[in-house]
Chains A and B, each alone.
Chain A
Amino acid sequence: DAGVTQSPTHLIKTRGQQVTLRCSPKSGHDTVSWYQQALGQGPQFIFQYYEEEERQRGNFPDRFSGHQFPNYSSELNVNALLLGDSALYLCASSPRQPYNSPLHFGNGTRLTVT
């Protein structure tokens, strides 16, 4: 049973460019959440998707957008990259029911903006 898978594992982009990160949830999970983890910090919630719609959003600008596909996989898009966007981006999945299910995280995508 595959867990949460993310691609790519590493990515180097230039300031001003756009990037797309991908996530496949754990089998049986239909909810996907994205987190940003800066160096030395705890992960911060970006947004959550289920039923192909954004349901909750953290304190991130509109440059951060996402999408969920009918197979529950998800993409995170970041436009107009800034140096401060350099971080580990983590995807987490869970089932909607039962509502108190624990989150399972992928191994992350490490984004470096130069």
Chain B
Amino acid sequence: GIQVEQSPPDLILQEGANSTLRCNFSDSVNNLQWFHQNPWGQLINLFYIPSGTKQNGRLSATTVATERYSLLYISSSQTTDSGVYFCAVSIRAGGTSYGKLTFGQGTILTVHP
């Protein structure tokens, strides 16, 4: 199956700092999503980005599908950015939708005031 590796495993920042999270995957994918999981367990979809670059406020993401990696950028970090960031990928299986996501182990981000 597809392997997904995220780095770094842990990241500690001061409020206002910038950061880059990386996701490497072992095979060609048709779906790549970045999620933020808050301390209450809620998994929030940040980006659907199988290729290219997207931006949403202080967050942006870039996926280079041919080189099998994706980057999530967080600028001017805030304490509310704390939590676990997951990268998840899947390939299309026959006529089915992309329900079978394979998740990485996540990056635990802690932002101090």
A positions within 8 Å CB-CB of B: 31-33, 35, 37, 41-45, 48, 50, 55-56, 58, 88, 90, 92, 94-97, 99-105, 107-108, 110
Contact = CB atoms under 8 A, between A and B. Distances in A.
Nearest to A49: B99
Given A50-B97, A94-B98, A103 B103 contact: no
User: 4 closest Cβ contacts across the A-B interface?
Assistant: A42-B103, A48-B99, A102-B48, A33-B99
Of B30, B86, B103, B106, the most chain A CB neighbours within 10 A belong to: B103
Contact of A42 (B40, B86, B96, B98): B86
Interface of B is mostly: loop
Interface of A is mostly: strand
B97 A101 contact: yes
Task: Give the interface size bracket for B toward A.
Answer: 20 to 34
B83 interface: no
A94 B97 contact: yes
Interface of B: 30-31, 33, 35, 40-45, 48, 50, 86, 88, 92-93, 96-106
Contact of B99 (A31, A42, A97): A31
A92 B98 CA distance: 11
Contacts of B92: 99-100
Contacts of B98: 94, 99-103
